[in-house]
Structures are given as structure tokens and as C-alpha cells.
Amino acid sequence: MLFRKIEAQIEDHLKSDSRAIMLIDGARQVGKTYIIRHVGQKLFENYIELNLVEDYVGARLFANAKTVEDFYLAVSMLAGDRMKEKETTLIFIDEIQAYPHLLTLLKFLAQDDRFTYIASGSLLGVTLAQTTSIPMGSIRMVRMFPLDFEEFLYANGMNALVVSSLRKKYERQESLDEATHAKVLDMFRKYLLVGGMPDAVNAFVAEKNIQRVRQIQSEIYAYYAADASKYDDGRKLKIRRIYDLIPSNLENKKKRVVAQSIENKRGKTFADYQDEFDYLISAGIALSVQAISTPVFPLIQSSGKNLLKLYLNDVGILSGILYGNNIQAILSDEESINLGSVYECVVASELIAHGHKLFYYDNRTKGEVDFLIDDYDSLSAVPIEVKSGKDYTVHSALNAFVSNEDYHVKKAIVLSNEREITTKNRITYLPIYDIMFL
């Protein structure tokens, strides 16, 4: 099975004395159900799994479960023989968004403390925003993402000892030798093709068939695009339009969302589509990067919502849309192909998976820097520039950013295909694959 970092987090929580219920949020198809089932069956003798989407379209046993006793009665109809003591019984409430009232009920289940619980769902950000009573003190919410690059390496046979060695090299700012660099960079390019959706990764590992991988990615993309069914037709179409525009926006020089292009109506602003943006971001299928013109720590104080970039949540889906089955566009590093949007997409997904909020620098006179992250050690912003071509040392906007004394920049990063790690004028040049350690 695929190694997922979140497995240890789930296991530690279920073994702890915490009465809070862990709630795993994330886009569909990222592997939430699989990893929770794996951990639950490993740790608990009596494992009970409730799929509420199946119940919603079937027996609807939980539709009117408004009290703890109502809930237990519904569970008992499915698995009464496995409802034992708390230490041996785990109830996994999957797809909890199907019944929003059960999100409120989690508080009372936690207080009752009769069994061990874990829950998961998609669109939870959307559902919680519409829930009148959010049980914040009773839940521990964790977001799950597609496989990151490190997890992809494990899936393709690289062991923990090798990854640990790569990490130590990164921490000591030591360059890899030519052969090792070529191997890791080759795996990174394959990750650009495959991405981190578990079904796509499993298909690649088993078959090495790019057409099969692309078929899976295409199905997931279509599934995401059609998943706004809870909204009325007008809003659903706008959500679909914004989502469909993401790849083409990323191929533009500025990469920003242009509000007037969504419905091709002049005068439209971001405020006109706030609910649609919130849906795509809360659902986890789009990653938002907000503009910062004055990079003061913490960055969120200076962020603006009118200059927004959206990336797809999975780089494999993006590369499939842009290049189809032509793997040479990525594997051969063809000079005629600009891989900037693909490289930026993978950096965005890695940063957010590692807990960073996503911002970029935008200054009308000094230009743009691809990403900004908070550095809590130096209490300053760290600018990150992503380069997919040979001109990785050309970055006038980054130079201006670093030299501006008002910004108090302690360090900056350029990510590229270059092997050697060097630092000059507070700018450290790292190979692109080291994003997995940032």
C-alpha cells in the first residue's frame, strides 16, 4: 500500500487520551477513506465504517439521527454486534458532509465518550460554513492532500534511508553528485506527469502506462468539475467556468484570475464570485495564492483578495490537460516548452501540504515574485522564485525585493533544475526537488 505521512498522525491521535474527534477534510480521491480504514482495522478489534453518502441514497438510517441515542440506534442496526467498549471499538463516520447535522452531533458524541470516533468528508469547508453550530472544541480538523513528492518517491521504491540522506544534504546545503541528482530529477519529472492522486500513482507503479494514468486524471478532473451539484444551475455553471479556466490562466504571463473573463462581462469584480471561489478553495480542488504588495510579517495581515492566482490541487491533472500523452514535453526538458505553470503548481501543492499559507508578491513597478512564505524564526517573509528553464539566475523582481531594506529579508530561494546549491546576496539556489524539504 502507499505510504502516507498522515497515517502516523491518525494513529497517534487514536492512541491518545484526547476526547476530541479527528475530522479528516480534503478533496475527493486523495485517499482519506483508504488510510483511515487501514489504521482503524489495524488498531481496533471492532471496526465500524459508516458511509453516509451510501446511506443518503439508500436506507437513510442517519437522516433523522439528531441525538446521541438516535445515532447509536442507527449504528446498531448495521453493526450492533461490534459496539463494544471504547478501547476496542472505532466508529468511522465517512462522507459526513452528506448529513450536516451530524457535524453538530460530533460534540455530543465526544462528550458521551462511549466509543472511539473518527470522521472524514469532502467539501467540509463549505458544509461547516453553512452549519449553525460548529463543534470546534470537540473536533480536531486535519486536511489531507494528494501524495507529495516525498510520498511519491516512497511509492516508487525509494526507501527511508535514501530520503533521509537527501534531507541531510539539503539541511547542510550540500549539492548531490551528478548521478544522484539526475536520478532524483528524473523522479521529479515523473511526478509532474503522474501527480499525487492515489489511483494515478498506483496505476503508474503497477503498469507504467501513461494513457491509463491520464484516463484516471481526466476522470477525477471531470468529477471535480461536476461536483457543485448542490448549487443552483447558475452558480454551478460559474463554478465550472472558473475551474475550467485555471489551466489557461496559468499559461498566461500574469497567471491571475481575471474576473471579467469568467462570464465575459465587463465590470465584474472578484466580489461578484466570492461564493464560487470559496467553494473551489474549501473543496480542496483549487489552491489560492493571494497577492501581497507590502510583505510585512505575518503576511496574512497584508493580503488582498482582488489579485488572486488559482492552481489545481494536483500537478498530474494539470500536466495531463496541458500535454496529454506527450510525456517527452516534460521528461526531455525541451527548450521550446515552457514548464513554468507546471513547476509553480507543484511548488504550490508542496508548500500548502507542508503547512504554509500561499501568497505571492505583486508590485506594479517592481514586478512579481512567485511565492512568499512566513519565516517564524526570523519573523520575516521568504520570497521564492520558481524557474523551469536555463535562465534561473535572471530574476530582477526578486533582486529588487531582497535589496529593499524595508522588507527585512533574511533569505530568499530560487528553485530550478540546477544541481549545485549556492548562496549569493542572501539568495539560495536550490534544485527544484528540494521543495519537499522546505
Q: In the prediction, which pLDDT does 130 show?
A: 64
One-letter amino acid of 74? A
Class of domain 6-143 (CATH, top level): alpha beta
pLDDT above 70 for 195:
yes
pLDDT above 70 for 433:
yes
3-state SS class at 120: strand
Strand ranges across the sheet with 116-121: 46-51, 89-94, 116-121, 21-25, 139-143
DSSP string, 176-187: PPHHHHHHHHHH
pLDDT above 90 for 333:
no
* Helices first, then strands: H and E counts in the chain: 18, 13
pLDDT above 80 for 232:
no
In whole angstroms, give the CA distance from residue 398 to residue 394.
Answer: 9
305 compared with 376, residue with greater pLDDT: 376
Please calculate the CA angle 268-270-271 and round it to the nearest 5 degrees.
90
Among candidate residues 296, 291, 303, the one with its CA nearest the CA of residue 404: 296
pLDDT tier at 307, thresholds 50, 70, 90: confident
Residues of the chain with CATH 3.40.50.300: 6-143
pLDDT tier at 363, thresholds 50, 70, 90: confident
Beta-sheet strands, E only, within 320-379: 359-363, 367-375
pLDDT above 70 for 233:
no
One-letter amino acid of 225? A
pLDDT tier at 136, thresholds 50, 70, 90: low
pLDDT above 70 for 230:
no
Model confidence, pTM: 0.94
In whole angstroms, give the CA distance from residue 321 to residue 217.
Answer: 9
Q: Which helix (H) or strand (E) holds 11?
A: helix 6-15
Among candidate residues 135, 36, 20, 138, the one with its CA nearest the CA of residue 93: 36
Decide if 330 contacts 342 (C-beta within 8 A).
yes
Among candidate residues 38, 11, 31, the one with its CA nearest the CA of residue 353: 31
Instruction: Give the pLDDT confidence of 15-69 residue by residue, as tens digits.
Output: 999 999 999 999 999 999 999 999 999 999 999 999 999 999 999 999 999 999 9
Q: In the prediction, which pLDDT does 123 show?
A: 79
Where helices occur in 226-287 by DSSP H, the ranges are 233-251, 259-262, 274-282
Other beta carbons within 10 angstroms of residue 172's beta carbon come to: 8
